[in-house]
Amino acid sequence: MKPYLFVVVSFRPSSHSSDYSLIGECATVEDAKKLKAKVAKLSKAIAKKDIEIDWELPETRRIGNRVIFTAHTDDECSVDELKALMKTEGSNVEGYNYYQELKITITTPKGATYDTLPLLLSPQEATLLKALRQHSKTSELHQTAKNTLIRFEYRGPGIYHYVKRIFVGIVDKYSPPANWKVQVRYSADKRWWEEQKSQNKKRQSK
């Protein structure tokens, strides 16, 4: 596994065009499937009827019981109609710039607890661990026969960049050991860069 470079800095909102996502969390997966179809249909209708809508790369996706609509835009109010639909359907709605869903797993010595981890980890790791606990949706310790796994489920503004950096908490910089594993379930920022790469390849092939 290649080492990751982690940079720990404070969140800051973007004042210019960005990938903006609406996330509607439903009670069940079936509800999310129905909501996804409705959001996709409405978003296409909005883009077709309103020439002032500046959406680039709009997409509707479902992950579990969550429906995600993302578009590259400088007008967050342009998704208000979609937000109203999500709320009408009974889902909990949140909006983020550069939305990401991550699963982060850290392997630590057997028997470790949140109280003892600051003594077992480097100061940099301990600082980042504390920040992740504060900002992640869930955090849990899982004891195995050989070690302790710390698992974070993060959903919110982008903190993990395509250059393998994490931005969260206070300023610091270091290269952690290979016991950190980051699984990207969704990344609006990565989606944009992958599309740009695809377009460049198409232009080069002509």
pLDDT category of residue 15 using cuts at 50, 70 and 90 = very low
Pick from 71-80, 117-126, 183-192 the range whose average pLDDT is largest: 71-80
pLDDT category of residue 52 using cuts at 50, 70 and 90 = confident
Same domain as 83, residue 153: no
Residue 198 Cα to chain centre, angstroms: 22
Same domain as 85, residue 141: no
Range of the domain at 151: 6-11+100-188
pLDDT category of residue 122 using cuts at 50, 70 and 90 = confident
CATH number at residue 83: 3.30.70.100
Please list, in sequence order, all residues whose beta carbon lies within 8 angstroms of the beta carbon of residue 112, skipping any fewer than 6 positions away: 120, 141, 148
Same domain as 63, residue 120: no
Measure the CA angle with vertex 116, ends 110 and 120; round to 5°: 70
pTM of model > 0.75 = yes
Given a cut of 80, whether residue 174 has pLDDT beyond it is no
Given a cut of 50, whether residue 173 has pLDDT beyond it is no
**Rounded Cα gap, residues 23 and 99, in angstroms:** 9
Instruction: Report which of 63, 48, 59 is spatially closest to residue 20, judged by C-alpha positions.
Output: 59
**Rounded Cα gap, residues 49 and 1, in angstroms:** 48
* Helix, strand, or coil (residue 113): coil
Percent over 90 (pLDDT), the chain: 45
